[in-house]
Structure formats: C-alpha cells, structure tokens
Amino acid sequence: MSKPVVLIAEELSPATVEALGPDFEIRYTDGADRSALLPAIADVDAILVRSATKVDEEAISAASNLKVIARAGVGLDNVDVKAATQAGVMVVNAPTSNITSAAELAVGLLLATARNIAPANEALKGGEWKRSKYSGVELYEKTVGIVGLGRIGALVAQRLSGFGAELIAYDPYVSTARAAQMGVRSVSLDELLAKSDFITVHLPKTPETAGLIGEQALAKVKPNVRIINAARGGIVDEHALAVALKEGRVAGAGIDVFASEPCTESPLFDFESVVVTPHLGASTEEAQERAGISVAKSVRLALAGELVPDAVNVKGGAIAEDVRPGIPLAEKLGRIFTGLAGGVAAQLDVEVRGEIAAHDVKVLELAALKGVFTNVVDDPVSYVNAPVIAADRGVEVRLVAHEESSDYRNVITVRGVMSDGHTVSVSGTLSGPKHVEKIVEVLGYDIEAFPAEHMAFFRYNDRPGIVGVVGRILGEAEINIAGMQVSRDTRGGHALMAMTVDQALPGPVIDNIIEAIGAEWGRNVDLVD
C-alpha cells in the first residue's frame, strides 16, 4: 500500500518531520503561492501550514483526498473551519505551543512600557543621553489588571507575582476560588479598569470580546495606566487607544497584535510611549518547534482514525483528565453494541453516569459512535465523520449525562432502539487506579467481564447442562475459552452467556451452539481491526 501523503506548505522545524516519522510520504510546496498550492493539495491526505497559507473553501474543494488540515500555531484565521467541517476534514492546531512565549512577551512589553525602554534605546543610538526624559515607574506595589485568566493569563500572573504587585483579574469563566489559587483577586471589569496601573489582555477574540477595551472602557481608567495587548488584534480598539493617549487619559501601551495584519501604519506609531512589535507572541524557536511537533502528532493520530484532542472541529472542546480514560472504553462499547445488535439502531443513546458526568463528556459520545460504525461502513470512521455517518443513516443520537450512579462510581452505557422496537444495550465501567475496563451489563443482564479481542454472546432458556454443551462444542473446534459468565433474569427464565475466547468463532460453530442449546440467538463480537 502507498503511504499517506502529507504536504508541508510552509517552513517548519526539522523536528516536525521527525515527529511525523517514516510512515508518510512528505511533500513540500510554497503555500503562499496560490498557483503552486492548488495543484499540490489535490491528492494529499494532510496539509501542514503556519499563517501564510490560506486553506479556504477553494483549496479544500481542490483537495479530493484531504483528511486533516494542521495549523502549526494557535490562530486559525487562515483556515476555513466551516468549509473543512462540511467536507469532513479535521482541523487541528497547537493551542498550547506558544503559551509560554506569549506570556513572556506580554511581561516584556509591560516592563518596556514601564521603563520607556524602546524610546530610550532609540534616543541613545541616535547619540542622545536623555536620562531624565525617560524616567519610568516600578511594578512594585502597583495594581496589575489581567483581563482573561486562561492559560496565558495564568502564566502572566505567575510571572508577575515576583514583582510585588497586586494582581486582580476579570474573567467571568474562572471562579473566585480558582483565581485565588493563582494569587489573583477576581473583580468586575469596571473595577479592574478603575483600579489598575497596568492592564494586560489575554482573551480569545470573539464577537463578545472584540473592542472590549474601547472608548467606553478607556473612559474608566486611570490616566497613568499602561495597556498591553499580546493576545488578539481588535480586542483593544486601536483608534480609541490612540485618542486616549493623545488626550493624556492613558500613559502608554505595549501592542503586539493589530486588528488588520500585517500592520505597517497606525496612529499608535506616533507615540513614544507605545512599544509595538509585529505579532511576535509565538515567535520563539521553542514555540515553533513545539507547534510543529504537536500538529505532527495530531496528524498521525487523525490519519490513524484515533482521537485528536487538539481537533478544533470535534464537538466537545477540551477533554477533562477524568474523562480521558473512558474514551477507549466507550469505543469498545460501541463496537460491542453493533455486534450484539446486528444492525443499525433507529435511536441511539450514549448514557454517562457518575462523577465524570460533571465534565463535558461529548467526546464519549463521539468515541461510542466511532465504535458503533467502525465495522458498519467501508470508509475509515473518525471522531469527525462518525456523527455525519449516523445522520446519513437516519440514526437519532442523544447524549445523556447524570451525576448519580447507584452501582458504580462511573458507568457508560450504549443503548439503542432497533427498527423493530426492541432495545439493545451494553454498559461498562473503569475499575481501580489503573482504570481497568469492565463490561457490567449486556441486554439488561448484570455481568462482570473484561473486554477482549474475541467475544461471544448467547441468549437461551436457563437450564442445567448448557455450559458443558458449549464447552464440548468449542473443544471439538479447538477453540479455547478464556472466560465465561452466565447471568439470568430468574431461575429457569432467560439467561445470557458471555464468553471471551482465544479466536473468533466461525459462523458454523456459532450455528452449532445455537442449535445445540436452543438459543434464541448468538453473536460473535470482535474488537480487533
């Protein structure tokens, strides 16, 4: 078989190629050159870009085999995520690759504005010694307002804690207790604006945050305030900031990002008290290498059909650490469900009960769907296309989460109503500190079995001698039983036999067992690809 093709459209570190490994054919093109990009992308499986390559609807349409768009960085302004999602193409980025670099730059800009480093440097290089003109201010015992206390904001707070400043923050999505753990006092935006000597912005750009530090906000600040934006252009209104600087309502600013980039002209450039840099937040050797390695790993996972935590168009967002161990279990339960059902359900519920239900467990639904359809369709099933496959097949999918669980700390159930109205279900849990996977329910019967590569299930009328008959048939077929459990609804009622075996049961063997024990049905379930 030919290797999957990965197109590298911009200069990336050698470590990126090394992280991809030998399993791919690597090609190169100049992604900024449209005439080179469109033919180059036509037959590739994945493309790796930075910021200069526009992977828009036209480029995605030209790529008939494209499965992954990988942006070696944080922003996705140059990728049409909506068009990619509609085409079933996964988009991944490296959301944590530059957080240290961005935090350090923000601190650097803050210090530069406090001490007038940039104009003093320029004056001295021009032959002028102006000590008195460029006298600055200390951070010690000043108030620093952090707008946005996410990963970068938290790193900035950590780094500023050593300066002896009072740290306050505005972030409606971070609890007061969590802020206090960082040594930061949580306040309203109005209080932050009124009390801060320095304001540093660390928010994503959304319709809600665009222009947040604008005319109205700047009317509430101290006249000696210095404002830093190393997050996203447009969160700080550049025109409003320039007016405030001109009118003496703001003392200075450090700006790394602009509403329109590249930016070579701005009213902010007229002020000595403004330090500007050309979007250097991620521009360190370390950040670039981390970004390349991160997306290379994501490409490997995506092309293998595995979960990619950094995929931006997979519903569910960030995956909590408590949820992660349940992902492979949910996928196995999905595969067992399909094996038991023998068909596609009209309605499918993925039910999550217990402590993990307090988190976002959408990824468990995706994992279960991937398992359900892995052996149903010919095309590889991923966390991106599994919901599309379900919709195409008219399967109504619901995610049900409850924090109450009567029997287990956490339990995941895949339950489906088939077209004839009968219900098929399978449940599993994780046991102990090593998260040992266990199947604890099948078709309403309580069992305790370990998922295995080869499993078999039989439903029959409970009576003596059944286990011996099944053992004899499998012995004659030279198939070893690794484990067996029998559960029944009532004595002499219906029983379910669950077996793990060393190899898949051939069809004739299953038919032989069904006939010999008078089973209502028997199912072979394989968890191997």
- pLDDT tens per residue, range 121-161: 999 999 999 999 999 999 999 999 999 988 899 999 999 99
Distance from C-alpha of 346 to C-alpha of 55, rounded to nearest angstrom? 37
Q: Is the pLDDT of residue 225 over 80?
A: yes
Q: Is 202 a catalytic residue?
A: no
**What domains sit in the chain, N to C, each tagged with a CATH number?**
5-96+286-303 (3.40.50.720), 99-276 (3.40.50.720), 314-451 (3.30.1330.90), 452-529 (3.30.70.260)
**Mean pLDDT for the stretch of residues 201-219:** 88
Q: Which of 25, 57, 122, 261 is catalytic?
A: 261
**Mean pLDDT for the stretch of residues 278-306:** 90
- Written as one string, the DSSP assignment of 104-167 is HHHHHHHHHHHHTHHHHHHHHHTT---TTTT-----TT-EEEEE--SHHHHHHHHHHGGGT-EE
Contacts (Cβ under 8 Å, ≥6 apart) of 316:
360, 361, 362, 363, 365, 366
In this prediction, residue 318 carries a pLDDT of 61
Q: Which of 71, 202, 226, 232 is catalytic?
A: 232
Q: Is 353 a catalytic residue?
A: no
Mean pLDDT of the chain: 91
pTM: 0.63
Q: What percent of the chain has pLDDT over 70?
A: 97
Q: Is the pLDDT of residue 379 over 90?
A: no
For 263-273, write each residue's pLDDT tens digit: 999 999 999 99
Q: Quickly state the pLDDT bin for 26 (edges 50, 70, 90).
A: very high
In this prediction, residue 309 carries a pLDDT of 76
In this prediction, residue 312 carries a pLDDT of 80
**Mean pLDDT for the stretch of residues 61-86:** 89
Task: State residue 55 phi and psi, 5-degree precision.
Answer: -100, 85
Q: Is the pLDDT of residue 57 over 70?
A: yes
Selection from 216, 224, 295, 219 nearest residue 253 by Cα? 224
Q: Is 351 a catalytic residue?
A: no
Q: Is the pLDDT of residue 75 over 90?
A: no
Q: Is the pLDDT of residue 316 over 70?
A: no
For 474-502, write each residue's pLDDT tens digit: 999 999 999 999 999 888 889 999 999 99
Q: Which of 50, 71, 202, 279 is catalytic?
A: 279
In this prediction, residue 321 carries a pLDDT of 82
Amino acid at 47: I
Q: Quickly state the pLDDT bin for 107 (edges 50, 70, 90).
A: very high
Q: Is the pLDDT of residue 317 over 60?
A: no
Q: Is the pLDDT of residue 340 over 60?
A: yes
Indicate the pairing of strand 423-431 with strand 410-417.
Answer: antiparallel
Distance from C-alpha of 384 to C-alpha of 158, rounded to nearest angstrom? 36
For 406-435, write each residue's pLDDT tens digit: 889 999 999 999 877 889 999 999 998 889
**Mean pLDDT for the stretch of residues 251-256:** 98
**Mean pLDDT for the stretch of residues 501-523:** 92
